[in-house]
Amino acid sequence: MHPIKHFRHIAVAAHPQIPQAYEQAGRIAAFLEENGLRATFDFLDAGPLRARLEAEQVDLLIALGGDGTMLRAGRFCAPHHIPILGINMGKFGFLMELSLDEWPTTLQHILKGDYWLEKRMLLCAEHWRGDTCLGSWHVLNEIVISRGEIVRPVHLETRVDDRFLTTYVADGLIAATSTGSTAYALAAGGPILPPELRNILLVPVAPHLSIDRAIVLAEGSSVSVTVHTDHQAVISSDGQMPIHLQDGDRVTARASDYSVEFVRLQDPGYFYRNLTPHMYNNPAIKKLT
C-alpha cells in the first residue's frame, strides 16, 4: 500500500468507441463538481485531456472502458504519477476496479480517503538498428516480437543481462510484466504472476525445437532480442499497431522507471479471490462451454 492522496482536480476519460461512455463521464464529472471538486471530462485520447495530464493539472484519472482503456491510461498517467480508477464498461475488465452501477456509492468512499494505491511495473522497450534507437515505449502488459503475415517462424537470439540465453525458433516471443501475465502470455501457456512483482516474463509463441517453457527473470534483469529472418518480422507493444523489423534489428526490455498506480478499494488479497471468477466470466470462455 502507498500513502493516501486527497484528490482535488479529477479528469474523467471515456473510451471513444463504447456507447454511453461519454454520457456517463459527464454524469460522474457533474457528481464530483457537486461535491466541491474540480472535474473535467473528455475522450481518453482527446488533446485537451492529454495536455492536462502532461501538465500535471490532474490528481486522479477516472477511466471508463475496458482493459485496453486502462493500458492506454497507464501509459499517459505513469510519467506524471497520476493514479487511475477504472470503471468497467468493456467485456472483461480484469484491470478495472468498479462496475458501472457502483460508482455513485464508491466515489464517496474514495473522496474520504478510503482507498489504497496499487503500484504496477511498466516495461521500457526500445527498438535498435545498429547504434540507432528507432523507437521506445513504456508498456503495461507486454511487448511481442513475432513473424508478420508470412507463416514462417523467426529466429530470435535472446540475451539476459548481456548473457546468451537461447535462440528461439518460433512464431514469436512475449516479454511481459506481471500485469501482462494474465493477458497474451497466459494464452500462450505462461504462468500467472502476482501483480506486485517486478519481474519480466518470457514466453515463446509456438516454438519449434526450442525452449518451450516460460522463464521468469530475476527482478532487475533486462532482456535483448536480436531478430534473424529473411522474411517479415514485427514488434507490437500492448497490442498496438505492429512496427516492422529488419534482419539484425534488436529489441531490448527492462523495468521502466515509471509505475502505474491503480486506485483500489478491495483488500490486497483481491487478486487471488477474483482470479477464477474473472477467467470464467470471460464471454469468450462462456461461448465454448
Contact present, 127 and 245 (Cβ < 8 Å): yes
Contact present, 22 and 14 (Cβ < 8 Å): yes
Q: Residues 42, 45, 67, 230: which is the catalytic one?
A: 67
| Residues 6 or more apart in contact with residue 140 via CB below 8 angstroms | 70, 71, 74, 75, 120, 122, 123, 177, 179, 180, 238, 260
- The verdict on whether 171 is a catalytic residue reads no
| Angle, vertex CA 200, rays to CA 44 and CA 71, nearest 5 | 10
| DSSP structural state of residue 146 | E
Structure-derived torsion over alpha carbons of residues 114, 138, 222, 116, reported in degrees to the nearest 10: 0
Helices 47-54 and 67-77 meet at what angle, rounded to 10?
50
- Number of Cα atoms under 13 Å in the Cβ half of residue 139: 28
> How many distinct helices (H) and strands (E) make up the chain?
7, 17
Residue corresponding to grid cell 500513502? 3
Which positions are catalytic? 67
